[in-house]
Chain A
């Protein structure tokens, strides 16, 4: 199972080993540049992570514990996630801009022993029972972490007994083996994704999972210490695993992009040019905005050598436009659920023919993944037939944290191996790898985010003025996927503004419905189930 790689990679037991090795080789080089322009060298980042690890151990954090953080992109969040792993705990990031109730639900489900909270998001604490707060609560001042964004004016008091981030940073460092020997099967991080019943589920990933992926990325993209990586994805999104750990393994410089700049294509394009970024990784949505609004022809982006995208299908028309504006870099389509991270990949052949409309295949398996196509009865399909893609190998996650009921549904034993059912229906095409065809369940991808329509429904069904709620997803020429909510209110139809605000309080932005349709009662099938085909027809008929 151990694959060849660089000497450091093969010997590594933990992502922390990669940072420590880089700090020895490249101590004075800049590791991380934050959105506010502040930066840390490898030696500084390593020292901060060691101090945070020492602090966590002194507070009683044990190997296998979880350490949560709710912080904007910044040097503090990078130091915290390495500090947690140095204490052999798993880090649990949440969306800084996400609803407080959802963030608290995630950190409670992860049963975090410590929580690092940006002071502007102390409203999260209202969602915790006061007698069940994490044992260690650390207040991180905003000066350290960058923009408070929309939360600038919302500051609530921290409870007595909260720790100060400065004190954690000044703590005596954890001795290298102070938490016991590191193991590849230690939990590294929990990434929560949308759950079909309304409760997010925590994908538990080990050091082995992360290291096998980092080795693969190192092999394919051959980064060096002269590379300058983008970090566009937030840390609760699995694209960040590539940015953080592939960059830092090689002594490269990682440029953290805050959420505000990440959504502002003109400024973002200028940032890529000014920082002379060499490796870019994001969702197709972000690249589409750059192509459309980034004013790319006016800029010098000649340093870019690799452009990677993942998380959703890239509409060919937009990809062609981008590659015409920026023809020099190599373009890579990466595919994989959070449960395996990237498991197939393909380089996009350029130029893209003007009459092509068919999306590109997701490509062959990565070198550290094994794949199998099974039909709905669990039998292998014949060559060229469609089937559900199953993945095995060192990339495969441990399970859903605290949810063995979900594990039972997605893992299958076969030929002495554990296989994960991605739920994605694909077909293998000779010489091209796999072609993604769709899904049979109610999960959709939008702006790279996985969305269980059931979670959106559950949020709407909690609204006191709604009697019934159902949502459907349909293709949208501009956004890729559109989400329509069909609602039966208790009384008069609700104000659109009030509904949108309610959704913003309950759901991440990417999950909020685009349109709302009101019904006296939702259409039902003869077996009294919500008639989704009828709702889809109603949505399509209401399209402009």
Chain B
């Protein structure tokens, strides 16, 4: 079980998908190109990631190419934490 991915999933469900079943939000569900996150909710997610995981996300890392799926975001966090 991937703790980081699970934590991201819990945050996304609570903040942006109230009532949605966790099983529908998969690690590869497109968040931004799939219409789940808009520009403001993306900023909220970035803020959450930076605070919760004590990392800084650079602008180019938050681009839609690298920041569209839970799996990509979890990988970014692990890389930043040096794990």
Contacts and interface: CB of A to CB of B under 8 A. Distances in A.
A497 B20 contact: yes
Main secondary structure of the interface of A (DSSP, over half): helix
Contact of B36 (A152, A261, A478, A497): A497
Contacts of A266: 59
A500 B35 contact: yes
Tier of interface size on chain B: 20 to 34
Contacts of A479: 40
Nearest to A514: B38
Interface centre among A150, A289, A498, A509 (most CB of B within 10 A): A150
B17 interface: yes
A503 B37 CA distance: 12
A504 interface: yes
A263 B68 contact: no
B43 A289 contact: yes
B64 interface: yes
A289 B44 CA distance: 11
Contacts, number: 62
28 contacts: A147-B65, A149-B63, A149-B64, A150-B33, A150-B64, A150-B68, A260-B63, A261-B59, A263-B42, A264-B59, A265-B43, A289-B39, A289-B40, A479-B40, A495-B21, A495-B24, A496-B19, A496-B20, A496-B24, A497-B34, A497-B36, A501-B34, A504-B35, A505-B35, A509-B35, A509-B38, A512-B35, A512-B38
Contacts of B35: 500-505, 509, 512
Contact of A264 (B17, B34, B62, B65): B62
Interface of A: 147, 149-150, 152, 260-261, 263-267, 289, 293, 478-479, 495-498, 500-505, 509, 512
A505 B35 CA distance: 8
A497 B29 contact: yes
A289 B40 CA distance: 8
A66 to B, nearest CB: 29
Given A149-B65, A479-B40, A497-B25, 7 more contacts: A149-B64, A260-B63, A263-B39, A497-B17, A501-B34, A501-B36, A509-B35
B43 to A, nearest CB: 6
Contacts of B19: 496
Main secondary structure of the interface of B (DSSP, over half): loop
Given A264-B62, A289-B40, A289-B43, A150 B25 contact: no
Contacts of B36: 497, 500-501
Nearest to A258: B63
Contacts of A150: 32-33, 64-65, 68
Contacts of A505: 35
Contacts of B20: 495-497
Interface in B2-56: 17, 19-21, 24-25, 29-30, 32-36, 38-40, 42-43, 47
Interface centre among B21, B29, B32, B65 (most CB of A within 10 A): B65
A502 B63 CA distance: 22
Interface centre among B25, B39, B68 (most CB of A within 10 A): B39
Nearest to A149: B64
Nearest to A507: B35
A267 B47 CA distance: 14
B34 A504 contact: yes
B57 to A, nearest CB: 10
A120 to B, nearest CB: 11
B80 to A, nearest CB: 16
Nearest to A263: B39
Nearest to B29: A497
A503 B43 CA distance: 21
A500 B21 contact: no
A497 B39 contact: no
Contacts of A260: 63-64
A149 B33 CA distance: 10
A512 B17 CA distance: 14
A80 B64 CA distance: 26
Contact of B65 (A152, A496, A509): A152
Contacts of B47: 293
A352 to B, nearest CB: 23
Contacts of A147: 63, 65
A350 to B, nearest CB: 27
B34 A496 contact: no
Interface centre among B17, B62, B64 (most CB of A within 10 A): B64
Nearest to A154: B33
A176 to B, nearest CB: 42
A496 B25 CA distance: 10
Contacts of B32: 150
B63 to A, nearest CB: 5
Nearest to B59: A267
Nearest to A504: B35
Interface centre among A152, A261, A266 (most CB of B within 10 A): A266
Nearest to B44: A293
Interface centre among A266, A497, A501, A502 (most CB of B within 10 A): A497
Nearest to B63: A260
Nearest to B43: A293
Contacts of A263: 39, 42
A258 to B, nearest CB: 10
A479 B63 CA distance: 22
Nearest to B32: A150
A256 B25 CA distance: 36
Contacts of B25: 497
Nearest to A495: B24
A266 B59 CA distance: 8
A500 B37 CA distance: 9
A478 B62 CA distance: 23
Contacts of A293: 43, 47
